[in-house]
Amino acid sequence: MKYSAWMPAALAALLLLLGSVFVVSEGQTAIVLNLGKVVRTDLKPGLHFKLPLVESARIFDRRLQILAAEPERYLTSEKKDVSVDFFAIGRISNVRDFYRATNGDEKVAADRLAPIIKDALRNEINAHTLQQVVSGDRSKVLATQLAAINKGAATLGVQISDIRIKRIDLPTGGEVIEQVYRRMRAQRQQVASQLRAEGQETKQKIESEADRQSQVLLAEAERDAQKLRGEGDAEAARIYAQAAQRDPGFYAFQRSLEAYRQAFAGGDSVIVLERNDPFLQYLRSDR
């Protein structure tokens, strides 16, 4: 009977203890509400107590968060249309102001921060040309606007530490992108024309050098051929001279046979000579 008497009391005490204790993890902060009124804020990580049934605790993440937004279209200083995709990095700086402004809803905070950041981004892009926006240092585009952004974000209990532009696009089918394509085509055509001109110049140099070398080789070959022919003719003349000196009669006979062969090579040649012509001396029967 005694055991069953104190069990409900112990259970009620345990429930009250559990209802009065809460834990704030590392990287988090918390506020304590008493009947909906904020009584304690910026609680550090650790074990904390609250009045059960009367007080409640709300825990928030104080680590850096990424706020993504849909790409937005802006006009540059020369009234050219661009589409900018960006994201912001921030965290809760004042949990009391954050709870009062958004009722602790992060989505509400993101929806209210987006117009502040977009307005600052619009002001900065409107002050720059398209070339400065596209080819410049994107990390510096919003550097001058960060103070103004944080002034508006402070009303939400949020601090923006950085804003990064992911990409900048030209709207498809717009006049700007057509101008970019025309400029790119003109640049490519200019480069192609320059390469063709350089190639043609190189071709002409190679052909000229090849022609020159060909003429030199032909001239040297002709020179060597004439030299060899001259040397051959000289050697043949020397051999003929030696042969003639050894047996003049036989040499004369051989030369006459060669003359006969050439004279009657056609088979139908007719030569009219006197009977005693020396050309016929080896054809007479009396020799």
At residue 24, the 3 state secondary structure works out as strand
42 and 120 share one domain? no
Specify if 183 maps to a domain: no
Specify if 78 maps to a domain: yes
Q: Which amino acid is located at 160 in the chain? A: I
Specify if 128 maps to a domain: yes
Distance CA 238, CA 201 (A): 55
Mean pLDDT in the chain? Answer: 79
44 and 75 share one domain? no
147 and 86 share one domain? yes
Specify if 242 maps to a domain: no
Asked if the model's pLDDT at residue 275 lies above 70, the reply is no
Domain that holds residue 126: 65-171
Asked if the model's pLDDT at residue 213 lies above 70, the reply is yes
45 and 70 share one domain? no
Nearest CA to 262 among 279, 243, 247? 279
Of the residues 34, 61, 88, which one is the last residue of a structural domain? 61
Count CB neighbours of 121 within 10 A: 22
Task: Express each pLDDT in 121-137 by its tens digit.
Answer: 888 888 877 777 777 66
Higher pLDDT: 75 or 287? It is 75
71 and 167 share one domain? yes
For residue 100, give the CATH number of its domain. Answer: 3.30.479.30
CA distances 56 to 20, 29, 105, 201, Å, are 9, 14, 16, 86
In which band, very low, low, confident or very high, does the pLDDT at 267 lie, cut at 50, 70 and 90?
Answer: low
55 and 77 share one domain? no
Of the residues 127, 146, 171, which one is the last residue of a structural domain? 171
167 and 71 share one domain? yes
Asked if the model's pLDDT at residue 257 lies above 50, the reply is yes
In which band, very low, low, confident or very high, does the pLDDT at 174 lie, cut at 50, 70 and 90?
Answer: low
Of the residues 114, 147, 171, which one is the last residue of a structural domain? 171
The token duo for 82 is: 């661009």
Specify if 216 maps to a domain: no
Specify if 194 maps to a domain: no
49 and 77 share one domain? no
Q: Please give the model's pTM, rounded to 2 decimal places.
A: 0.51
In which band, very low, low, confident or very high, does the pLDDT at 206 lie, cut at 50, 70 and 90?
Answer: very high
129 and 95 share one domain? yes
CA distances 209 to 4, 205, 215, Å, are 117, 6, 10
Nearest CA to 106 among 98, 114, 97? 98
52 and 102 share one domain? no
User: Looking at residue 16, what is its pLDDT?
Assistant: 58
Residue 148's Cβ-count burial label (10 Å; 0-12, 13-18, 19+) is: middle
Distance CA 285, CA 287 (A): 6
Specify if 148 maps to a domain: yes
Query: Are 52 and 80 within 8 A, CB to CB?
Result: no
Distance CA 152, CA 148 (A): 7
102 and 156 share one domain? yes
How many domains does the structure of the chain reveal? Answer: 3
Specify if 38 maps to a domain: yes
Percentage of residues of the chain with pLDDT beyond 90: 2
